[in-house]
Amino acid sequence: MTANNRSRNRALVANVVLPMLFLTVVLLGGLRVAAENRAFIFVAPPLVALLLAVLLMLLLVRGRLIRFHKWVGNELPPLTNVVHIWMLITLFFASAQAFNSVLPERGLLHWL
Where do contacts with other proteins occur on this chain (CB under 8 A)?
7-8, 11-12, 15-16, 19-20, 23, 26-27, 30, 39-42, 44, 79-80, 82-83, 86, 90
Q: Is 43 left (phi over 0), alpha (psi -120 to 50) or beta?
A: beta
* Residue number with CB closer to other proteins (32 or 59): 32
Min dist. Cβ of residue 59 to other proteins (A): 24
Least distance between other proteins and beta carbon 43 (Å): 9
Strand-pairing partners, residue 41, are 32
Report in angstroms how near the CB of residue 19 gets to other proteins at its nearest. Answer: 4
Q: Which amino acid is at 92?
A: F
Q: What distances in angstroms separate CA 112 from CA 96, 105, 107, 109, one per listed residue?
A: 15, 13, 10, 7
Cα 25 to Cα 9: distance, rounded to the nearest angstrom: 22
Between 35 and 108, CB nearer to other proteins: 35
Closest CB to other proteins among residues 52, 100: 100
> Least distance to other proteins from the beta carbon of 96, Å?
12
Residue placing its CB nearer to other proteins in the complex, 40 or 111:
40
Cβ(24)–Cβ(70) below 8 Å: no
